[in-house]
């Protein structure tokens, strides 16, 4: 897991009479914590409302675990819940774990990497279209601004190349990929469902959002892999899948990504490939339903319409 400075050994002791998760702190090489940080992150306390440094924080970047540096939340998922603590309506895929709270009523959220206490999660409040609120203690977080993430912490790529199950499965195997999320983008409606995307009414396309470590890989390497795990010469189809939602398209987040993609397309054209891949500025990315996430990994199967073909 990115951000962990040394090999980490940690022990979870399940307390069945309370349903909570206790953490033992023996000889662990996590970041040093102050007494106040230990009270919240280890002993599951709560900081006073309106006192945390990230309550009204608006900067773009990534929120990380103060205990182990794992990436937890993107700034685009932060919203003002007016409750005195930072609120997020989504987490980085696989970064946050939900466990029953000791009070028997609420759901606690902890860092999936180190088990540090973050806060609680609530649903059905209607603050955002996703209808979920991660209520997080500022003291449990650190923040990496966007300009720093571009220098070696994390970066993001968005690709669409047919069924997102297969694209995700093959991208997950690339060194440096931290997390993947399948979802929908490029459309005109909010919170699209799988059924709406398949019908063509929403205008969205099946896509994958990748968070990666630019020290271990690069956007160019991932873009090359993208062109080699699907057929970029097909129009609105991939394998047996047919429909506009299966078109080949790359959604760039900055001019450097756009320049990289256009250069790779020119290389492929000189090799004789009639590339149909569209290159589009990234817009809102909507996370797909949970049963679509890590589909082939969970099913224990292989993609039926994606396979590696060397093109570079």
Residues involved in catalysis: 135, 163
Both tokens of residue 172?
A: 């997950």
CA distance 50 to 56: 9
Q: Which residues pair with 96 in a beta bridge?
A: 111
The three-point CA angle 99-105-110 to 5° equals 25
Instruction: Check: CB of residue 71 under 8 Å from CB of residue 64.
Output: yes
Instruction: Check: CB of residue 143 under 8 Å from CB of residue 49.
Output: no
Q: How far is CA 163 from the centre of its chain?
A: 18
Residue 141 makes CB contacts below 8 A (sequence gap 6+) with 54, 63, 64, 65, 66, 72, 73, 86, 118
Nearest CA among 114, 115, 50 for reference residue 87: 50
Both tokens of residue 148?
A: 């720093």
Instruction: Check: CB of residue 85 under 8 Å from CB of residue 135.
Output: yes
CA distance 153 to 296: 28
Sheet holding 205-212, edge to edge: 278-281, 248-252, 155-161, 205-212, 177-185, 286-287
């Amino acid at each position: 897991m990115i951000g962990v400075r040394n090999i980490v050994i940690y022990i979870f002791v399940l307390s069945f009479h309370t349903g909570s998760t206790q953490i033992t702190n023996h000889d662990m090489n996590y970041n040093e914590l102050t007494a106040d940080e230990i009270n919240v992150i280890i002993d599951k306390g709560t900081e006073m409302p309106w006192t945390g440094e990230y309550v009204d924080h608006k900067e773009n970047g990534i929120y990380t675990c103060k205990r182990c540096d794992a990436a937890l939340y993107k700034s685009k998922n932060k919203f003002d819940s007016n409750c005195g603590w930072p609120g997020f309506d989504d987490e980085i895929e696989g970064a946050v774990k939900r466990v029953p709270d000791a009070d028997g009523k609420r759901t606690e959220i902890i860092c999936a990497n180190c088990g540090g206490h973050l806060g609680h999660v609530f649903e059905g409040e209607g603050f955002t279209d996703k209808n979920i609120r991660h209520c997080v203690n500022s003291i449990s977080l650190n923040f990496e601004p966007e300009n720093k993430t571009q220098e070696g912490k994390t970066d993001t790529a968005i690709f669409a190349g047919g069924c997102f199950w297969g694209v995700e499965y093959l991208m997950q195997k690339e060194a440096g990929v931290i997390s993947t999320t399948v979802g929908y983008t490029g459309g005109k409606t909010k919170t699209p469902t799988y059924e709406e995307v398949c019908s063509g009414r929403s205008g969205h396309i099946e896509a994958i959002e990748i968070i990666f470590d630019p020290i271990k890989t690069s956007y160019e390497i991932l873009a090359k892999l993208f062109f080699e795990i699907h057929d970029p010469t097909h129009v609105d189809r991939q394998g047996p899948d047919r429909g506009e939602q299966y078109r080949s398209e790359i959604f760039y987040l900055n001019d450097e990504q756009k320049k990289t993609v256009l250069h790779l397309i020119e290389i492929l054209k000189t090799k004789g490939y009639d590339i149909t891949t569209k290159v589009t500025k990234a817009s809102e990315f909507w996370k797909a339903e949970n049963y679509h996430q890590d589909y082939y990994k969970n099913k224990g199967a292989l993609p039926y319409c994606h396979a590696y073909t060397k093109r570079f």
